[in-house]
Structure 1
Amino acid sequence: MYRNTIINRIVETKIMAIVRVETVERAMEIAEGCLAGGVDCLEISYTLPNAGEVISALNKQYGDRLVIGAGTVLDSETARLAILAGAKFVIAPNYKEEVCRLCNRYQIPYMPGCTSMTEMIEAMEAGAAMIKAFPISGYYGPGLVPTLKTPLPYMPILSSGGVTLKNVGTWADTAIDCIGVGSLLTKGTTEEITENARQLKSAFSA
């Protein structure tokens, strides 16, 4: 996939599952639930040592049906390993210039976590594809989006945290580009994940 194609898929889907799993089998169950509910973007967190294995297995099983990326990528070494495993995008809780350069070299969208306008602008100037509002989106909620988009309407924003089935409609009413969702799309049975994914998706099609 080309960089723009990946970004377009993420923005079109609007919802990204943030996945931390200890086994490939559980990752497959989550993937099945997300797909059945209309969510085809999954971030596999490098907080666990098997992240590369999970990314590779999901890519092999689902191909282009899913857009699989790497999360919690703190350094360029991890970013390169993630890309070699098949990650189509790279997300981090922080901004790191070396990671940004490496991702741009291989045309992989990079989405760093930023907390201030200065940090966000510097990341965009360096080539970040989207700004992850972390951890501030969990604190400020949907009101964060117009606050950031008023001075920077062209800045793509990925929220991380703070999204529930009760408030997702409020998020959908903002100009958010994508919302990252954890436990709603990773806990429970495959059927429960499917239902949660459907409700989240319906908020953006209402």
Structure 2
Amino acid sequence: MTTESSTQSHSAYVRIAENGVIGIVRGVDADRTIDVVDALVSGGVDTVEITADTTGVLDTLEAVTSTFDDSEALVGAGTVLDSETARAVLLAGASFVVTPSFDPDVVETCNRYGAVVAPGVQTPTEAVRAYESGADLLKIFPASSLGPDYVRSLGGPLPQLPLVPTGGVSLDNVEAYVDAGATAVGVGSSLVDSDAIAEGEYDVLTERAAQFRAAVDRARRE
């Protein structure tokens, strides 16, 4: 990896960790995704994951990353299942990659391109293997089945692991996840409300983004 790539990867990692919230956008067309990202950024969530199972995801990534520069929004791709898809989304402009499971080839591809990668893991063995393979963040998935206590228990003997609970994170439990040691959280429907998007009510997303950021900040202060 070049020095420039290492610097870019480090900057993206710091950005994700500082913001603390990754907004997950799934199944939204390119034009509306631009409005969604704008709404989230206005509410203080400037890290956004567009899932690779979205129709036309490469065009969407190119449209979003050409609309917002890195200082405005850090845009990545999620639900990446293989190295070929990882390479494609990175070439389309994604700054980070999130997966639902651990695939060493995906991690290797992201490392090669100097991009932050967060594979999905559940057990301590998976977490350690993924981290040792070069993962920057570890997506604890599905968080709804595990809960904040699991995150705390995993981080007890393995405090060096940067954990990102995803799946079922809401305003009701986000502070508990941060208190348990989460580096950041991935938030889908609780933040990116499909009904609000369908009605063009993007102010709803802005308000929820502000609420999530406030909750994360509050938990970090306590």
**Letter of the 1:195 counterpart:** E
User: 1:64-103 maps to which residues of 2 (within 5 A)?
Assistant: 64=70, 65-103=72-110
Partner of 2:119: 112
The CA distance in 1 between the partners of 2:54 and 2:90, in whole Å, is: 16
User: 1:13-162 maps to which residues of 2 (within 5 A)?
Assistant: 13-64=19-70, 65-135=72-142, 137-162=143-168
Q: SS at the partner of 1:42?
A: strand
Does the Cα contact within 8 Å between 1:172 and 1:203 map onto a contact in 2? no
Q: Percent same amino acid at aligned positions?
A: 37
Deviation at 1:61, TM superposition (A): 0.5
Q: 1:191 aligned to 196, 199, 203, which one?
A: 203
The CA distance in 1 between the partners of 2:170 and 2:15, in whole Å, is: 22
Deviation at 1:90, TM superposition (A): 0.7
What stretches of structure 1 of length at least 5 have no aligned partner? none
Deviation at 1:28, TM superposition (A): 1.4
Deviations for 1:35-61, whole angstroms, at most 9, x for unmatched residues? 111000111101123111111111110
Deviation at 1:172, TM superposition (A): 2.8
Does the Cα contact within 8 Å between 1:21 and 1:27 map onto a contact in 2? no
**Letter of the 2:18 counterpart:** E
Off by >6 Å, runs of 4+ in structure 1: none
**Letter of the 2:161 counterpart:** M
Deviations for 1:49-85, whole angstroms, at most 9, x for unmatched residues? 3111111111110111110001111111101100100
**Letter of the 1:182 counterpart:** G
**Letter of the 1:67 counterpart:** L
Does the Cα contact within 8 Å between 2:27 and 2:55 map onto a contact in 1? no
RMSD of aligned Cα (Å) = 1.2
Partner of 2:213: 201
Q: SS at the partner of 2:54?
A: coil
Deviations for 1:136-179, whole angstroms, at most 9, x for unmatched residues? x1112211221110010010011112222222222232211110
Indicate the larger mover: 167-176 or 54-63: 167-176
Change (3 A) 1:162 1:122: same
* Count of matched residue positions in the alignment of Structure 1 and Structure 2: 205
Indicate the larger mover: 138-147 or 87-96: 138-147
Does the Cα contact within 8 Å between 2:48 and 2:76 map onto a contact in 1? yes
The CA distance in 2 between the partners of 1:167 and 1:80, in whole Å, is: 34
What stretches of structure 2 of length at least 5 have no aligned partner? 1-6
Q: TM (normalized to structure 2)? A: 0.89
Partner of 1:7: 13
Q: TM (normalized to structure 1)? A: 0.95
